[in-house]
Amino acid sequence: MKINRILTYIEQMQESVFLARSYIEGIEKADFLADKKTQQAVVLNLLVLGENATKVLQLYPEFSARHDDIPWRSMKGMRNRIAHGYFDINLDVVWDTATQALPPLSHQLDQLLNHLKQNP
């Protein structure tokens, strides 16, 4: 069923957001910029997040259009920048995304999941 697949994508997105945020919890930007392992962990989860957003956009365009408050295209764009320019990743942008964009996105995804589970 279509809704089950969409739920899976969104749950995976939610997990990626949670993991990325957990890796930087309690650290300062300077610590992040000095820690290759944490950088790679966060980048990987942004990649997974964007990959799932891309799947929703491609496979369920009417769904993503109905839920246009979710930044599907921004997540896809971040995924493309990471995937196609891995050695040129701007870690300042990664930090800003993880600290500023992911908290509200987490809330949006929670609301969307709750809505979908209550209204299949």
Is the overall model pTM greater than 0.85, yes or no?
yes
pLDDT computed for residue 86 by the predictor: 64
pLDDT at site 39: 97
Question: Domain tally for the chain?
Answer: 1
Domain that holds residue 111: 2-118
* DSSP one-letter code for 46: H
Average pLDDT over residues 86-110: 93
Separation CA 2–CA 105 (nearest Å) = 23
How confident is the model over 8-19, as pLDDT tens digits? 999 999 999 999
Structure tokens given for 114: 């709750």
